[in-house]
Chain A
């Protein structure tokens, strides 16, 4: 059993460049990126996901390398979902499903899988899902049984009309994560108007919201504060795919562990920085990498908030 769970789809991504060339498929998907974000700071984590049998060749090996149990990884189909991603200049992206969106829906994690995966040891879970009341009622019931904290990362492609649905379920998780495009769409506020958007986020009945503003960085927003941290580059950035999911996983861990919002947003941005170093996930999070990440977080906290 594990203290921290990353729940949701894994999906392999190929990146299509502006000149039309395509990369190979790299490991990804919201839950796997989130798992990476958590694993950068704690070994006590696992993935809860429905996958294709071919996960063993890549995802399975990565989890073996990192000592992560696959007890909650269930093989339900021949192939993991795959997407072709195109990043746009405005920070948004589009994606095309390689095996079809139906396949992706078939492999989505259901609340009953979370129920099977959690235990009395579980302290926090990450889940990327839609704002359907039926799903959140079930997730809320499961959470109440076991007493852990929950981070909800909003699924992309929301529309303005989804705000009502979001508000109906937002009291269930303790933590929330969304980006500036999503927030702007939901509240009808221009993306660059951080203050007005943050004012709305502060009203949400959650302990903490990770508000991601793309290349500029992120905010950790609580009902009483909003702490900003600029993007943190570990080295040269190669690909931003999954930075949101990775930072959200890390933020879930940090907040659940009791770190203050300043440290939460720094930890989130460091995790995103490590993710951006390559296409796909960081290949091997060694003990040294983990120690470096913690040292960097302490240094950045001193620089940004105390310097």
Chain B
């Protein structure tokens, strides 16, 4: 069975810019994270609940990449889809014509993950909100099956969620959050990065991927902070899913034991490949995998030359 599980919703997105809507493209946090892992590692799979029509596109993508469908539970007729409207490069709103309730119905549960994880599983990605019950169940599953967990926090938080986030983090190994979410959670202005990062360093996790939108990302541990600006291997077209993609890649890289600079470089390279088109990366060839790895190595050297604790 696969070493890495990407768990969470798949959902197709139409991105609306200047009142023009793109066609629906494959996406959703679980799927974007899968592409982020798959760009570096073939032993990965998706754990999701979705609609029967996933076979028309997501299913074909999985087949093209020799990824098993065993973690895909068809529980509805249709994959959910959303209209994403970017207000600026870093801020967006989303609406779901099939209803947000269906999005919830298709959310992955801890029991799904426990069912699909086995002795080969090294790391999992899960996109979820700060619910103590959910993360306790996840923590119990991780201890039983001995895998590491990357938690990418769902957006639309409030400062009231901070105590829950701190409790939930005790059950995970890695955490991923963006600057807007962190700003709300800690009631610190987004521009005050050092202050936010100081707070993130206190979380009881091994590593936090702190994403700062168009400017790139940081990897934060208890001992160090490293920064890397965004990496565009090709011209950027659409940032939808870059956070999920980079988080998937960071989960894999950290679990595999790479140093922080390389984790960060890989995360940003993955995000860069995601941004090159609407929707998820359409095909990850062996050649693309090699190029991605080489590009990450190059940027890793640059990050290390800049040194630690480097702010913008």
Contacts and interface: CB of A to CB of B under 8 A. Distances in A.
Given A110-B75, A134-B75, A134-B76, A105 B100 contact: yes
Interface in A89-126: 100-108, 110-111
B133 interface: yes
A78 B74 CA distance: 26
Nearest to A138: B75
A101 B100 contact: yes
A102 B76 contact: no
A141 B174 CA distance: 41
B74 A134 contact: yes
A107 B133 CA distance: 13
A135 B101 contact: no
Contacts of A135: 75-76
Contacts of A106: 104-105, 107, 109
B104 A105 contact: yes
B278 to A, nearest CB: 24
Contact of A78 (B77, B101, B132): B132
A102 B75 contact: no
Given A106-B107, A108-B105, A134-B74, A101 B99 contact: yes
Interface in A70-93: 75-78
B75 A105 contact: no
Contacts of B110: 76
B132 to A, nearest CB: 6
A133 interface: yes
B135 to A, nearest CB: 10
Given A134-B75, A135-B76, A102 B101 contact: yes
A101 B74 contact: no
Interface in A202-231: none
Interface string B95-119: 0000111111111011000000000
B134 interface: yes
A104 B131 contact: no
User: Chain B CB within 10 Å — which of A100, A103, A106, A134 has the most?
Assistant: A106
A101 B133 contact: no
Contacts of B101: 101-102, 104-105, 108
B289 interface: no
Given A102-B100, A108-B104, A133 B77 contact: yes
B300 to A, nearest CB: 38
Nearest to A165: B77
Contacts of A101: 99-101, 104
User: Which residue, A103, A105, A110, has most C-beta atoms of chain B within 10 A?
Assistant: A105
B284 interface: no
A298 interface: no
Q: Which secondary structure characterizes the binding site on chain B?
A: helix
Of A75, A102, A105, A108, most B-chain CB atoms within 10 Å: A102
Nearest to A107: B104
B141 interface: no
Contacts of A107: 104
B113 to A, nearest CB: 13
A53 interface: yes
Contacts of A110: 75
Interface residues of A, number: 21
A281 B100 CA distance: 28
A77 B131 contact: yes
A108 B102 CA distance: 10
Given A132-B76, A134-B74, A134-B77, A102 B104 contact: yes
Contacts of A52: 133
B52 interface: yes
A133 B110 CA distance: 25
A104 B104 contact: yes
Nearest to B137: A76
A110 B104 CA distance: 12
Interface in A116-172: 132-135
Given A78-B133, A105-B105, A100 B77 contact: no
Interface in A171-214: none
B282 to A, nearest CB: 27
A285 B107 CA distance: 36
Contact of B109 (A53, A76, A100): A76
A101 B99 CA distance: 8
B78 to A, nearest CB: 9
B131 A78 contact: yes
Contacts of A133: 77
Nearest to B154: A102
Contact of B134 (A77, A104, A111, A134): A77
Interface of A: 52-53, 75-78, 100-108, 110-111, 132-135
Interface of B: 51-52, 74-77, 99-107, 109-110, 131-134, 137, 164
15 contacts: A52-B133, A76-B137, A77-B131, A77-B133, A78-B134, A100-B100, A101-B99, A103-B104, A105-B102, A105-B104, A105-B105, A105-B107, A106-B107, A108-B101, A134-B76
A-B interface, 4 closest residue pairs, ranked by CB to CB distance from nearest: A105-B104, A102-B104, A105-B105, A105-B101
Given A52-B133, A105-B107, 17 more contacts: A75-B133, A76-B110, A76-B134, A77-B131, A77-B134, A78-B132, A78-B134, A100-B104, A102-B103, A102-B104, A103-B104, A104-B101, A105-B100, A105-B103, A108-B104, A133-B77, A134-B76
